[in-house]
Homo-oligomer: A and B are copies of this chain.
């Protein structure tokens, strides 16, 4: 289920299929997940969102596992159930062990706590931390 429903491969336009094909090839899978099938009602946005995602999540100065961990951390902070489920699975595929998951959760929990303590105490930024750029 989704607001506009899912566009399955068989019913997709050539434009949408080209994106689906690239998703499956890039991720080495035969399944397109619900997120992309929900976006496919707007083929331009589907293509743009996929290309951005592919480019941003690929290896660079940060390796793909670290990127997935960061993605999970953001999704947890935003309470996005779908994203937590999907990216926890993706992180595991890229090597996240249970030990890594547990440490990740600890850091996410701590940061969320300390973020609020700082706000609540109205703590002024230390001179040494002020952006100099």
A34 and B133 alpha carbons, distance in the complex (Å): 12
Contact with B along A115-126 (1 / 0, CB 8 A): 111111111111
With contacts A85-B125, A125-B34, A129-B85 known, is A110 near B113, CB below 8 A? yes
A105 and B48 alpha carbons, distance in the complex (Å): 13
Interface status of A99 (Cβ within 8 A of chain B): yes
Q: Which B residues are in CB contact (< 8 Å) with A18?
A: none
Partner of A75, one of B34, B45, B55, B115: B115
A residues adjacent to B (C-beta < 8 A): 1-6, 31, 33-35, 38-39, 41-42, 44-45, 48-49, 52-53, 55-57, 60-62, 66-67, 69-89, 97-126, 128-133
A sample of 9 more A-B contacts (CB under 8 A), given A105-B121, A112-B112, is A4-B101, A49-B109, A56-B106, A56-B107, A62-B107, A66-B66, A82-B123, A83-B111, A112-B116
